[in-house]
Amino acid sequence: MSYDEQLAERIRSALAAVPVIEKKMFGGLQFLVDGKIAIGATVDGDLLVRCDPSRTDELIGRPGAQRADMRGRKMSAGWITVSPEETRGVDLQFWVAVALENRAMDHKA
């Protein structure tokens, strides 16, 4: 099974103005900003979002969002997956903004 190519194309379009590297990882396609995963299309069709760890609890309160899980283990704060139903239209733009906001915070640190 591979990642959702339509989701990957939508992410690619949303990141058109941002220098990214695409890398196949974890069975999906991840988009790296400044060498670190920012967002990606998972093998399950979900969106993987790297966020500010302090916002994890707030963000998983949104529909379809949950703490990311890798091989049955919950990942640390700052990693969220979002169901395909919640990444359509402006919802995808919201999650791309969250991922880019986190990358910008890394530069300030």
CATH no. for residue 54? 3.90.1150.30
CA distance 31 to 104: 15
**Containing structural domain, residue 35:** 5-108
Report how many domains make up the chain: 1
- State what percent of residues in the chain have pLDDT above 70: 94
pLDDT at residue 61, rounded to an integer: 96
For 20-69, the pLDDT digits (tens) are 999 999 889 999 999 999 999 998 899 999 999 999 999 999 999 999 98
User: Per the structure block, which two tokens stand in for 104?
Assistant: 């910008």
Q: What is the CA radius of gyration of the chain?
A: 13
Q: Cβ–Cβ contacts within 10 Å for residue 23, how many?
A: 13
DSSP H or E run through 14: helix 5-14
What is this structure's pTM? 0.90
Q: Which tokens go with 63?
A: 């529909």
